[in-house]
Amino acid sequence: LDEIQLSKIKRSYLTFYRFLGETPVKQDEMSSKNSQYDENGYDIHIPFGTYYQQYRLSTSKDAFDGPLIAVGVVDLLPHCFSSVYAFYDPILSSSLELGKYTALREIEWIRRACQFRPELHFYYLGYYIHSCPKMTYKADYKPSELLCPVNLKWVDFEIGKKRLEERSP
């Protein structure tokens, strides 16, 4: 590889690392507490921050022994849980809807965590690109809203969808 190619590789890696490896989220007061799992293995007392969630096929009672099928990158913030990015096993994702699976698991985590974090109100599914078929599953979750890029206000999904279809190139 020449210097130009190495420079491009380094820039790509740094961009990727900044997107998925760094977190601007400050740890909260819960960071000093030990992990506390509920009866189904959900650690609902984790501090604010960025996390990588592993999704595995369970082959026994031990949920951590099966093959890795997906990874989700999430931000836990004071008032919301944000699904930043997810990537999946390429073979399984062709036959299973792993985006929906990870979203449902995240929703279940929030449902459990709300019992101990009453300020946790919102779940963000991340970016929605109306013309991207891989992202259309996000429209299946109701109620939902889209952030208008023009006035930066939240609008009901159905209203936003209609505007996208009328005005988007």
Q: pLDDT tens digits, residue range 24-58?
A: 666 554 444 556 677 777 777 888 888 888 898 87
pLDDT at 32: 42
pTM above 0.85, yes or no: no
> Strand 49-56 relative to strand 154-156: parallel, antiparallel, unpaired?
unpaired
pLDDT at residue 10 tops 80: yes
The mean per-residue pLDDT over the stretch 141-168 comes to 88
The mean per-residue pLDDT over the stretch 72-101 comes to 89
Q: Do 69 and 57 touch, CB atoms closer than 8 A? A: yes
pLDDT at 48: 86
Q: Helix, strand or coil for residue 146?
A: strand
The mean per-residue pLDDT over the stretch 87-111 comes to 89
